[in-house]
Amino acid sequence: MYDLFDLHSREGEKAALATDAVVLRRFACGIEGELLAALNAVIAVAPLRNMVTPGGYAMSVAMTNCGAAGWVTDRAGYRYTREDPISGNPWPPMPAIFASLATRAAAVAGFEDFLPDACLINRYAPGTKLSLHQDKNETDFTAPIVSVSLGLPARFLFGGLRRNDKVTRVELRHGDVVVWGRSARLAYHGVDTLKDGEHPLTGRCRFNLTFRKAL
Ligand code: MD6
Ligand code: FE
C-alpha cells in the first residue's frame, strides 16, 4: 500500500528521509479536526508557554505537553516531569486520538507496538525556529519518535549523529508525519524560521506534536 516516493513529492505516501527515518505524507489528514479539537482542550488546561533554556534564553517556540510525562526546560536543565510546573498538576492525559495516530504511524514505518507516554506540543509563529538539537532526555532509545505537523508548512532540517554532519532539508506540510528511530534515533534535527502565512485550520501558526516514550 505504501510505496517509496521521492522526498519532496507532494503526493508520495512514504518517503525516506534517512536510514530509519521516514516522512508519511498527509498521514494525519482526515482526522485533523479531531486532532485540533483535542489539542485545544489540552492547551486550555496546560497553556502554551515560552520555556527558558538552561543558558537563560526564552525559546521562541511556545510549548506544552500531554501524557504521563512532559518535556520541560528551565535554568535547571532539560528533563521530563510528571507535573506541569505552572499549575503543579499532572500534565493533561494524552487524548486517545493522539496515541492511536502515533501508534499507527509508527507501525507503518516499521516500529510495532509503539506506546508513547509523552506528547510535546510546539507552536511556531512566523519568525520562530528551533535550533539543531538531539532528543536525548528519554530513557529508552529503542522506541521511535513520531512527529505530526499541523497548519503552516515548515522547513525541517535533518542531520546525522554529529552536529556538523550534512543536513537534509525537507518541507513538512499540514498532516505530514515523520517517524524515526534505531540508527536515526539520536540524529540532529531542527526547524527553519517559519515563514508567514495563513492556514485555514490553524491561522498564522504551525503546530507540531512529538510523541515519545520518555519514562
Ligand atoms: C518540529 N520537532 O517538527 C520539531 N524531535 O516542530 C522535533 O524537534 C522533533 O519532529 C524529535 C523527533 C521529531 C521531531
Ligand atoms: Fe526534537
Per residue in 155-178, pLDDT tens? 999 999 999 999 999 999 999 999
In the block, residue with C-alpha cell 492556514: 199
How does pLDDT run across 42-92, given as a tens digit for each residue?
Answer: 999 999 999 999 999 999 999 999 999 999 999 999 999 999 999 999 999
Shortest-distance Cα residue to atom 3 of ligand 1: 208
- For residue 182, the 8-state DSSP code is G
Q: What is the pLDDT of residues 191-210, one digit of tens each?
A: 999 999 999 999 999 999 99
Q: What is the DSSP letter of 73?
A: E
Stretch 149-154: mean pLDDT, rounded? Answer: 98
d(CA 130, CA 137): 17
Question: What confidence category does residue 2 fall into, taking pLDDT thresholds of 50, 70 and 90?
Answer: very low
Residue 105 φ/ψ, nearest 5 degrees: -65, -45
State the total domains in the chain.
Answer: 1
Distance from residue 210's CA to the centre of ligand 1 (Å): 6
Neighbouring CB atoms inside 10 A of 36's CB total 15
CB-based pocket (< 6 A), ligand 1: 122, 130, 135, 145, 147, 156, 178, 189, 191, 208, 210
Å from CA of 191 to ligand 1 middle: 8
Contact assessment for residue 181 and residue 111, using Cβ atoms and an 8 Å cutoff: yes
181 has pLDDT over 90: yes
| Domain around 183 | 2-212
Q: Are strands 130-133 and 21-24 parallel, antiparallel or unpaired?
A: unpaired
How does residue 190 score in pLDDT terms, banded at 50, 70 and 90?
A: very high
| Beta-carbon neighbours within 5 Å of ion ligand 2 | 135
The answer to whether 114 and 102 are in contact (CB under 8 A) is: yes
Query: What CATH number is given to the structural domain containing 55?
Result: 2.60.120.590
137, 210, 211, 213: residue to mutate for ligand 1 pocket, most atoms within 8 A of CB: 210
